[in-house]
Structure formats: C-alpha cells, structure tokens
C-alpha cells in the first residue's frame, strides 16, 4: 500500500530557531499534500494544502510567513517552522493524496520548543 | 456550527460489547466519509471509508452513512481492549476535515 515517510519523528529546538519537517511519498506520486497540527487532546487541524509546483493554500489563522511550505516535487513536501516559540510545540502530521480519496498519513513529528 | 461534530464521549464499554460512535457533518456536498483510529502519540490510521448511503461492513467494523440526515456512524462489534483509542470522523471535499474525536475505552 501507499507509504508516506515523515522525518524527523521528534525534534527539540531552542526558541527563535527554525525547524524543517520532511514528508515523502515513497511509492506513489502525491498530487496534493496536507499539513496538520494537533495539540494534546485535540483533533487534527488542517494548516495548509500544497500542490506540487505551486504555492500552498493556508487555512484561516495560519501564518504563512511562519509556516513555510515547499512542495518542490511529486514526492516531497517540507514544512519549516520559522522562529519557533514554545506555543508552536505540537504534533505535526503530513498527509499525501495520490488521487481521489486516497489519503495516506505520515507518522507525525513531535516538536518541542524550549 | 462546526463542520464535523463528534459530541459524545468518552465512551467506555465492556469487552465483547458493541461500541457505537457517531458523527454529524454540515456540508451537504461532502462525498466521502472516513473513520480513523489514533493511539496516543501516533498518527491516525484508516479504519474504513464510505461513500454511499447505507451500511458497509469490514470484519468487526460497520460504517453507516445517512446523507439526508448528514450522519455517519461506526459500530465496533465484539470490542477488544486493543480497540481502546481515539476515533476520528473525517469528511472529504477538496480536503479532509476531522472531528474532535471520541475516546473509546474497552474494559477487560
């Protein structure tokens, strides 16, 4: 079946630094990738939708200059959290869609900003 | 009104019982409906999807969809302690929107 690899699985960074998270579709080409954020005991909140070769579409309330998304190829999307602060600490999850309703999730990245 | 609502919970059932999880959605144009299971600290894993009105069965799981009532449910038969997790309802249009989830606990 479709596999999405997400790295790193966890990261700790200092406040003010930037962190990059990678999401790769290993055995299919993802026309669209999605980035979610999940705070403890809450559901997944969609942050942005990215299509290969075009700018990401951000959900209302998500700062596009803070959460930089690059979808340079059909198998790779990256999320960079710039100038991270403790309130950015969360579980970030990517999802890739090959076509139709085939959504495959990465394993998630636990970000802790200290 | 939230797009996808899962209001009941947490839910606790004894081992072997039927667990019933409910979800309503607001967008009548929604075409695809999903149930995911999420263990603590892990990414969601797909249990079932359903597109058409009626029931869809897969092993111990049955998804039920009623588009007129904008309602989708998940039944888990013969519940096992390993079924204890958070169950997320999701609805797809151009993107996947999740409900807040219901935490299920199956008592041995």
Tens digit of each residue's pLDDT (9 = 90 or more) over B5-63: 997 779 999 999 999 999 999 999 898 999 999 999 899 999 999 999 999 999 999 99
The C-alpha torsion from A46 through A51 and A54 to A55, rounded to 10°, is: 0
Tens digit of each residue's pLDDT (9 = 90 or more) over A14-54: 999 999 999 999 988 888 999 999 998 888 999 999 988 88
Nearest to B22 by CA among B56, B64, B50, B51: B64
Of A46, A105, A106, the CB nearest to B97: A46
CB contact under 8 A, B88 and A49: no
- Beta-strand relationship, A10-13 and A109-113: parallel
CB contact under 8 A, A107 and B92: no
Q: Hunting for tokens 């340079």 — which residue is that?
A: A72
Residues pairing with B50 in the sheet:
B33
**SS3 at position A103:** strand
Chain B CB contacts of A105 below 8 Å:
43-45
């Amino acid at each position: 079946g479709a596999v999405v690899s997400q790295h790193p699985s966890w990261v700790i960074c200092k406040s003010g630094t930037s962190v990059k998270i990678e999401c790769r579709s290993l055995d299919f080409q993802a026309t669209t990738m999605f980035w979610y954020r999940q705070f403890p005991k809450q559901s997944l909140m969609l942050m942005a939708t990215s299509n290969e070769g075009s700018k990401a579409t951000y959900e209302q309330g998500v700062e596009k200059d803070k959460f930089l998304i690059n979808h340079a190829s059909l198998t790779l999307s990256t999320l960079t959290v710039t100038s991270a602060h403790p309130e950015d600490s969360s579980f970030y999850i990517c999802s890739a869609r090959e076509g139709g309703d085939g959504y495959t999730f990465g394993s998630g990245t636990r970000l802790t900003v200290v | 009104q939230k797009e996808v609502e899962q209001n009941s919970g947490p839910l606790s059932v004894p081992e072997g019982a039927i667990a019933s999880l409910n979800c309503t959605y607001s967008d009548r144009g929604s075409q695809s409906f999903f149930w995911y299971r999420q263990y603590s600290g892990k990414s969601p894993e797909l249990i079932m999807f359903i597109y058409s009105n009626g029931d869809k069965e897969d092993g111990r799981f049955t998804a039920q969809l009623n588009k007129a009532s904008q309602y989708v449910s998940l039944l888990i038969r013969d519940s096992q302690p390993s079924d204890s997790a958070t169950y997320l309802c999701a609805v797809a249009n151009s993107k996947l929107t999740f409900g807040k989830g219901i935490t299920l606990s199956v008592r041995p």
